């Protein structure tokens, strides 16, 4: 219908034959939106391409030229954000290849964006496993002054951008296209870009989808002690700081106090950084872990993230 908002959904896929058909069906089941689906399939070793082409024969799926190796979902999304013309759409959304969307996911997100007068949107999700277990992953803790430097607002597959924000991200990536390959996580990057450049971001406490958990998904639910231990290893090795500094330099965030303290890389700078814990993470438990991390580096000395 004429009055329905227009939206383009960008779906990054790789070896997705097992779940991609179910994912696409839930995308096309979206209510009260005029939807275009763009799929970029990373070079795969399964039957994903044949499945997509068969599905495309009955639906208006735009499959980008196949054969390129991206190596990660992030690189795939960065490529699509540079390649798709957003000028004819009101909104842009991101999709993974293996989730199950609520039928009102997009229109609910668009209405929430409008209500909050925001340009970026993400939501809570319901993680689910093959054994039937489900758990709500709440993401709508209050945003903090510097949380965007250290974390994403939720899974990228919940993201919706206004045309204004999508084009601003696109321009940034195109201008620096030779450096895009050094970036790490697309969801964290898009949120950090938006917040740093004064775009308002709204985080919806409602779950918009079933977020599939299995051995092949790239990041998965940030929950449980196993997940916490894996992330702790990344931080204490210094890899997290390395990626944080790379992104901060890319986005010209180097003059922000937490970035300056991390770059200083001394015991005293990490002691000072500890006082920013409540400004750098949204969840109280993560604020506590951030404080502990700062004190660990205060005791053991800074890490040479540049050599990691």
Q: Could you report the per-residue pLDDT of 135-144, keeping only the tens digit for each?
A: 999 999 999 9
- Does the reported pTM lie above 0.85? yes
What does the pLDDT read at residue 187?
98
- Looking at 3.90.550.10, 3.40.50.300, 3.90.850.10, 3.40.50.720, the CATH number of the domain 6-212 comes to 3.90.550.10
What does the pLDDT read at residue 119?
99
CA distance 30 to 5: 12
Q: Would you say residue 219 has pLDDT above 80?
A: no
Taking every pair of C-alpha atoms in the chain, what is the biggest distance, in angstroms?
Answer: 62
CA distance 44 to 71: 10
Share of the chain above pLDDT 90, in %: 81
Q: Would you say residue 27 has pLDDT above 70?
A: yes
The count of other CB atoms within 10 Å of the CB of residue 223 is: 12
What does the pLDDT read at residue 307?
42
What does the pLDDT read at residue 241?
84
**Contact partners, residue 143, CB within 8 Å, separation at least 6:** 153, 195, 201, 203, 282
Kindly report which listed range (54-58, 180-184, 300-304) carries the lowest average pLDDT score. Answer: 300-304
CA nearest neighbour of 158 among 95, 206, 112, 98: 95
What does the pLDDT read at residue 56?
80
Encoding tokens for residue 104? 């009102």
Q: Would you say residue 308 has pLDDT above 50?
A: no
Mean pLDDT within 108-124 = 99
Per DSSP bridges, beta strands 6-13 and 34-41 are: parallel
CA distance 74 to 12: 9
């Amino acid at each position: 219908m004429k009055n329905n908002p227009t939206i383009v959904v960008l779906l990054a896929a790789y070896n997705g034959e097992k779940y991609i058909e179910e994912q696409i069906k839930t995308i096309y089941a979206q209510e009260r939106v005029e939807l275009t689906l763009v799929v970029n399939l990373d070079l795969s070793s399964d039957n994903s391409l044949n499945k997509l082409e068969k599905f495309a024969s009955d639906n208006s799926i735009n499959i980008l030229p196949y054969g390129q190796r991206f190596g990660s979902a992030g690189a795939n999304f960065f490529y699509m954000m540079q390649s798709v013309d957003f000028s004819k759409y009101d909104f842009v959304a991101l999709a993974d290849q293996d989730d199950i969307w609520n039928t009102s996911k997009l229109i609910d997100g668009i209405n929430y964006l409008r209500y909050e007068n925001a340009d970026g949107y993400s939501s809570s999700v319901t993680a689910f496993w093959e054994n039937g277990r489900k758990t709500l992953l709440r993401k709508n803790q209050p945003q903090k002054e510097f949380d965007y430097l250290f974390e994403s607002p939720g899974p990228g597959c919940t993201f919706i951008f206004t045309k204004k924000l999508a084009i601003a991200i696109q321009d940034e990536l195109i201008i620096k296209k030779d450096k895009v390959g050094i970036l790490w996580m697309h969801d964290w990057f898009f949120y950090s870009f938006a917040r740093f450049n004064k775009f308002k971001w709204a985080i919806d406490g409602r779950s918009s989808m079933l977020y599939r958990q299995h051995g092949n998904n790239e990041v998965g639910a940030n929950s449980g002690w196993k997940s916490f231990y894996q992330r702790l290893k990344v931080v204490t090795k210094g890899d997290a700081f390395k990626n944080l500094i790379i992104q901060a330099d890319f986005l010209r965030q180097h003059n922000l106090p937490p970035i300056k303290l991390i770059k200083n890389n001394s015991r005293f700078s990490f002691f000072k950084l500890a006082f920013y814990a409540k400004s750098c993470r949204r969840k109280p438990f993560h604020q506590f872990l951030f404080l502990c991390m700062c004190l660990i580096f205060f005791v053991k000395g800074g890490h040479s993230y540049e050599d990691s």
